């Protein structure tokens, strides 16, 4: 055999041996680490991922980013055009993971593998207040019921049709769940289905939405993975979520994104939405200017101002606090504010005071907890906040976590506890409500008020009804 042919034969043989030994690809986690990116598909919604004033936000985004960091790779985020596109993207290998608030369903289970459950939700039938609450699914027959195509809601309706054969609905191929909730609030459609976490957040923006029926309870949420023999990525996710639950990270995420939505106030929310259009345009520039000089988010300043006075520049309390930011005479004097009833001076003073209070909060306390504690101190005083932190520590809690301090602030009104701290009695439930309200207002402002411009005043329905799921 000529040398050239002999060399060629040896090369082929070596290649065959190499291929034989490498017929099994490396584990998926190693492939991802070699690639340097984790490809995650998600969707835009308040409960998954969105762009906030400070950049990318959302519980699914934070979890995916943290998981990617743990693998030592960058997060490559893909945003689906519709829910219907998410599972096929994972099934085809276009995405490594779907982190999109997906409920585990039988239909999806045929296409993808699910990781560990990280949360549970209920599915509700949603209607608009004052349109008549359906008491059973039979009351929905003949009305316009619409859900997102490819959603767990579509699967739920398919199952329910076995017992309600006359049930008819539309599966929208382009709309997100949030869009359909808006469509119910505007009367464009009669009903939709929503997961409990999405509904709680959406009701802040659309307070006329109500729950008619609970259709499914204890729906388990999980990440979705491609179905294959290699389970290394699923195993890594299982270890990750074990750590997430053990560390309290999941509790913190739920509190940060959904905790403020628990105490829904229909009348107050409707009034705030109207005032965004009617009052805020007069003062937005002043809030923005104060934000530039103080470094405080202007929407946060606006939320504080609304909680204090409902953006009323002449507001005066029986105790003598005055103006949009409701400054005391002593505080105004310390801040160099001469006229508390002047909107500009009041807002500047409020911004300065908040910065002063926040500087007292230990820097080791991470955001957003540091801001929440500063808000509580703005309301009840730094000393009482410190007392609540001491009580938290006495009771075995973490005084640097707002969620735990929040639970202990009301104890300042109980002699058993306020007698053990320096400043004594305080109406400790007030700063809790104060912070929760501001968080609600801030959340609405972040979603409703774009940076470019504010909507001009529009006609709104002044008819109000008390909150409650049975109204209408």
- Provide the annotated active-site residues: 308
- CB contact set of 13 (below 8 Å; sequence gap of 6+): none
**Measured distance between the N- and C-terminal CA atoms of the chain, rounded to whole angstroms:** 93
211, containing H or E segment = strand 209-221
Structure tokens at 434: 């104060």
* DSSP-derived secondary structure for 260-328: GGSS--HHHHHHHHHHHHHTHHHHHHHHHHHHHHH---HHHHHHHHHHHHSS-TT-B-TTS-BTTTTB-
Tell me if 91 sits within 8 A of 112, measured CB to CB.
Answer: yes
- Maximum pairwise Cα distance, the chain: 108
| Among 362, 327, 321, residue whose Cα is nearest residue 345 | 327
Tell me if 436 sits within 8 A of 269, measured CB to CB.
Answer: no
Q: How big is the chain, counted in residues? A: 472
The dihedrals phi and psi of 277, each to the nearest 5 degrees, come to: -85, -35
Structure tokens at 375: 């808000």
Q: How distant, in Å, are the alpha carbons of 133, 361, 370, 398, 408 from that of 386?
A: 47, 9, 13, 13, 11
**What's the rounded Cα separation, in Å, for the pair 178 and 153?**
13
The rounded Cα 38 to chain-centroid distance in angstroms is: 23
Q: Give the count of beta carbons closer than 10 Å to the beta carbon of residue 267.
A: 12
- CB contact set of 447 (below 8 Å; sequence gap of 6+): 46, 205
Tell me if 420 sits within 8 A of 394, measured CB to CB.
Answer: yes
| Among 301, 304, 275, residue whose Cα is nearest residue 289 | 301
């Amino acid at each position: 055999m000529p040398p050239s042919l002999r060399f060629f034969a040896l090369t082929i043989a070596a290649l065959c041996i190499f291929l034989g030994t490498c017929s099994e690809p490396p584990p998926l986690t190693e492939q991802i680490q070699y690639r340097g990116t984790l490809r995650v598909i998600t969707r835009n919604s308040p409960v998954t991922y969105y762009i906030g004033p400070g950049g990318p936000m959302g519980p699914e985004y934070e979890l995916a980013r943290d998981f990617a960091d743990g693998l030592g790779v960058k997060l490559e985020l893909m945003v689906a055009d519709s829910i219907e596109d998410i599972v096929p993207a994972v099934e085809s290998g276009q995405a490594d993971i779907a982190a999109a608030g997906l409920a585990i369903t039988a239909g999806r289970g045929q296409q993808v593998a699910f990781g560990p459950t990280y949360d549970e939700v209920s599915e509700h039938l949603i209607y608009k207040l004052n349109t008549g609450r359906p008491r059973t699914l039979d009351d929905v027959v003949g009305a316009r019921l619409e859900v997102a195509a490819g959603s767990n809601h579509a699967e739920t309706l398919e199952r329910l049709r076995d017992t309600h054969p006359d049930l008819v609905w539309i599966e929208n191929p382009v709309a997100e769940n949030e869009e359909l909730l808006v469509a119910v609030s505007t009367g464009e459609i009669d009903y939709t289905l929503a997961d409990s976490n999405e509904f709680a957040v959406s009701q802040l923006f659309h307070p006329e939405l109500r729950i008619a029926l609970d259709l499914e309870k204890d729906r388990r949420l999980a990440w979705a993975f491609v179905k294959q023999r290699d389970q290394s990525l699923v195993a890594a996710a299982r270890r990750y979520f074990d750590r997430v639950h053990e560390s309290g990270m999941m509790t913190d995420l739920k509190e940060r994104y959904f905790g403020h939505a628990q105490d829904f106030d229909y009348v107050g929310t409707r009034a705030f939405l109207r005032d965004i259009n009617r009052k805020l345009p007069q003062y937005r520039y002043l809030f923005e200017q104060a934000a530039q000089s103080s470094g405080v988010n202007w929407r946060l300043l606006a939320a504080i101002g609304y909680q204090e006075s409902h953006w009323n520049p002449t507001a005066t309390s029986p105790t003598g606090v005055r103006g949009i930011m409701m400054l005391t005479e002593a505080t105004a004097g310390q801040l160099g504010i001469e006229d508390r009833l002047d909107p500009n001076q009041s807002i500047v003073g409020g911004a300065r005071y908040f910065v002063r209070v926040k500087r007292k909060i230990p820097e080791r306390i991470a955001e957003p907890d540091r801001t929440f504690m500063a808000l509580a101190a703005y309301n009840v005083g730094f000393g009482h906040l410190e007392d609540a932190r001491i009580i938290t520590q006495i009771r075995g809690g973490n005084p640097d976590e707002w969620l735990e301090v929040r639970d202990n602030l009301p104890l300042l009104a109980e002699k058993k506890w306020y007698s053990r701290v320096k400043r004594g009695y305080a109406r400790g439930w007030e700063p809790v409500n104060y912070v929760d309200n501001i968080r609600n207002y801030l959340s609405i402002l972040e979603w409703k008020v774009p940076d470019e411009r504010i909507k001009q005043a529009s006609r709104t329905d002044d008819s109000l009804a008390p909150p409650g799921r049975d109204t209408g």
